[in-house]
Amino acid sequence: MSSRTFDRETLLDLIVNAIPLAMMAFFVVVFALFNPFGSDPASQAIQFSIVILTFGGLFVLTYFSGKAISNAEEELEADPEEFAEPEAAAANPDEDADYAEITSDEPAEGAGEESA
């Protein structure tokens, strides 16, 4: 078990949230430097609160989803047999015979034949 909260694979899973976070941070900086909507303090407060609260919410959501992914990976690594196929299903392959027929690479009966 690593001492870091997120390993490389978890960070790769969470990278999809980096783009929206970067965009929101960009707009906070742009809105702070250039005031495109006038100098009304109420409108500035509303615009900053919308962007900053959305940024904070996405950041918190990203953190907790990363922790959930890490915990799930640790559980899977700790006891892989728990998530393996049950012995009863492996002992009776006839139960999945219909599924195997459907998913086989061979075309189904009548497939490829043109009807007149």
pLDDT in tens, 13-36: 888 888 999 999 999 999 888 887
Q: Using 50, 70 and 90 to split pLDDT, how confident is the model at 49? A: very high
Three-state secondary structure along the chain?
A: CCCCCCCHHHHHHHHHHHHHHHHHHHHHHHHHHCCCCCCCHHHHHHHHHHHHHHHHHHHHHHHHHHHHHHHHHHHHHHCHHHHCCCHHHHHCHHHHHHHHHHHCCCCCCCCCCCCC
pLDDT in tens, 51-105: 999 999 999 999 998 888 888 888 888 776 766 666 655 555 555 555 555 655 5
Residue in 11, 15, 17 with CA at minimum distance from that of residue 70: 11
pLDDT in tens, 50-64: 999 999 999 999 999
